[in-house]
Chain A
Amino acid sequence: MAFYDGVFNALGLRDWCDAGGDGGPLTMAELLAQANNTDVEEASFWNMPFPSLDNLNDACASFGRSRDMTDAVENGFLAIKGALKAVLDPITQPLSWALDGSMALFEATPWYILISLMMALAYYASRSWKIVGMVAATFLFMAFIDHYLAAVQTLSIIFVCTTVSVLIGVPVGILMSKNDTTQRFAVPVLDMLQTLPTFVYLVPLIYLFSVTESKLYGIAIILYAVVPIIRLTDLGIRLVDQDVVEAADAFGMSSRQKLLGVEIPLALPNIMAGLNQTIMMSLAMVVIASLVSAPGLGVLVLSGIRSLELGVGLVSGFCIVLLAIMLDRVSKAALERVNVSHKR
């Protein structure tokens, strides 16, 4: 005798309820109750259960159980999966190629050439020998403790994902800054991407794409890392000095000239700050993405956890920290350089 029986009887819905069959399999609670041979406690007004799906189902089989609801969500997703995959698969295929190609290239380049290139890149971005020295030291240390390959794989993934994030994020940010309606719709989506626990959107991605495809982790990383660059591009362009924009109008700039010649250059410090955040977030995500077969340092951390090898986990974790510091310093130095030439 369930608590809400009386309610349905009083409403004259008993027939409708009984037509709903005898419900699905036993729930865990019911199973335990049976096993312990204790009847479900007689309900009084004091311990009235919340009229949830499961409790209503006890009284009236026509109500679905919460289990049925999650089933419905799953079936709904599976129903559109085919169509979604047909659209998304070809669109995202280039991402797989880029990730695989870049990975092959990074791995195939001899270590001395790659480290030199990284140092040259660091110098170009920062114009600071101190930072170049730090980059060299980081790489040489990681190579010395045999973590070079994993670090390079991680770096390759970050490189591709950051590039794609910029290519998507900057135009989207510009669009948002130009149009309040776009901004109103985009902000909740960005909020959701940023707050949704990363594991949650890994689940539908696994359904959509095969775990063997590199775009699976690529998409997961980009969805997470693209947010800051979009936000800061939007903010940067909105913060551009309106007096300068007015001057650009007064001298007859077209909107394209204004965007390329005034708004983007003046928003550059903010866009660069967004780039720094995007790099850091892809690094954070690349470790989690090792759960869905992303290679690199994350795999070592994961194996450390799985086989309880404290040393392996800690050392590779330390390498991730080193990589993070290196990427952060180089991109911050580049930001600093942009900032100096923008001072007023």
Chain B
Amino acid sequence: MSDPKISIRNLYKIFGDAPEDALTHVKNGMGKPELLEKHGHVLGLQDINVDMQAGEITVIMGLSGSGKSTLIRHLNRLIEPTDGEVVVNGEDVLAYDEDQLRGLRRNIMSMVFQKFALLPHKTVLQNTSMSAGIRGENVAEAEKRNRGWLDRVGLAGYEDHYPHQLSGGMQQRVGIARALGSDSEIMLMDEAFSALDPLIRTDMQDLLLELQKELHKTIVFITHDLDEALKLADHLVILKDGRVVQQGDPQHILLNPSDPYIEEFVSDINCARVLRCCSVMTRNDGNPEADGVIDVNDNLESVITLSGGDTSKTYQVNEDGAPVGTLAMKDLMVWLVPRVASGEVKPDA
């Protein structure tokens, strides 16, 4: 694997009056509740190590209070860490001075916010060109360019509206267009879709995936919703109480939760929609007598639809047109047995 675009190493964040002293306690093994009780400091993040690859969507998932919003703000130093390193493009961001940091925020990273945070006194088009104005570039030219982005996120014709005239979903499209308009390599998305209603949220996720297929940005996405995380993630990081509990390929995490906390999450989601054939098939050279052919990236739900619920069928799984394995409906069903209820341990994928 190539060098990661963003690499977080041994990151600690402690909130309080004397975080340095508290840090030594934490490094000596003191836990979050004990630190709060004995020293009045809140442990925000504890020994975070995450590598984020260029062109991938890294999703950081956790419940509220798990430190995920704190973590994303360390990447562009909206929050200063207590200890550790954040390396972006091979450079330690924490060693940056004011000017370098401003350069990073202006040119390399853009951010999309949960509450949109658009400028209320500027039009949609002016909002998308905010970053050009900050850099001191020709704003008129940027606006010409950004009409394209507005069109791309489905807001053609709304250029001269003000943010308060748009619905939440449309405002967040402006937020995305603003981030795209800054032409940065890295996009930080802080619970970007959490404030939207479910249908619009699905639309926005599709929009993001579609844009990503084309643009290959490095995206760091924060969410508390596992369905959303599994849908978007190339790399999934699960946070709890400021610690990384598990990270890796989302399908792998789904099938091998390392922790009761994650198992609890996983039991709540629709496995058929998230699991793909490649994760559950038997690898072989295919089966000429199969009842049909499916693709490795099809999810199990589509296979069930194809079979019409007949569990006796068997399918050949193709990747790029060549057979790579088979999937029997009988085996498929085993993967869909609710985990916590059955208490069974699944075979490894």
Contacts and interface: CB of A to CB of B under 8 A. Distances in A.
B110 A251 contact: yes
Count chain B CB atoms within 10 A of each CB in A241, A252, A265, A268 and give the residue with the most: A252
Contact of A244 (B119, B133, B134, B162): B119
A266 B121 contact: yes
A341 B115 contact: no
Contacts of B182: 251
Given A257-B134, A344-B163, A247 B117 contact: yes
Contacts of A265: 119, 121
B134 A344 contact: no
A253 B111 contact: no
Interface string A233-254: 0000000010110110111111
A343 interface: yes
A262 interface: yes
B78 A343 contact: no
Interface in A247-288: 247, 249-254, 257, 261-262, 265-266, 268
Contact of B164 (A249, A262, A343): A343
Nearest to A253: B134
A35 B113 CA distance: 85
Interface residues of A, number: 21
B120 A254 contact: no
A97 B16 CA distance: 55
Interface string B97-140: 00001111111011101011111110000000011011100000
Interface residues of B, number: 30
A252 B106 contact: yes
B120 A252 contact: no
Given A257-B134, A344-B163, A249 B105 contact: yes
Contacts of A250: 76, 78, 105, 109-111, 113, 188
Contacts of A251: 105-106, 110-111, 130-131, 134, 182
Contacts of B106: 251-252
A130 interface: no
9 closest Cβ contacts across the A-B interface? A252-B105, A252-B106, A247-B117, A250-B111, A243-B117, A344-B164, A252-B102, A243-B115, A343-B164
Interface of B: 76, 78, 101-107, 109-111, 113, 115-121, 130-131, 133-135, 162-164, 182, 188
Interface of A: 241, 243-244, 246-247, 249-254, 257, 261-262, 265-266, 268, 341-344
18 contacts: A243-B113, A243-B116, A247-B111, A249-B105, A250-B110, A250-B188, A251-B134, A252-B101, A252-B102, A252-B103, A252-B104, A253-B134, A261-B119, A265-B119, A265-B121, A266-B120, A342-B120, A344-B164
Given A250-B188, A262-B119, A344-B163, 17 more contacts: A243-B115, A243-B117, A244-B118, A244-B119, A244-B120, A246-B117, A247-B111, A247-B118, A250-B78, A250-B111, A251-B106, A251-B111, A252-B102, A252-B106, A265-B119, A341-B121, A343-B164
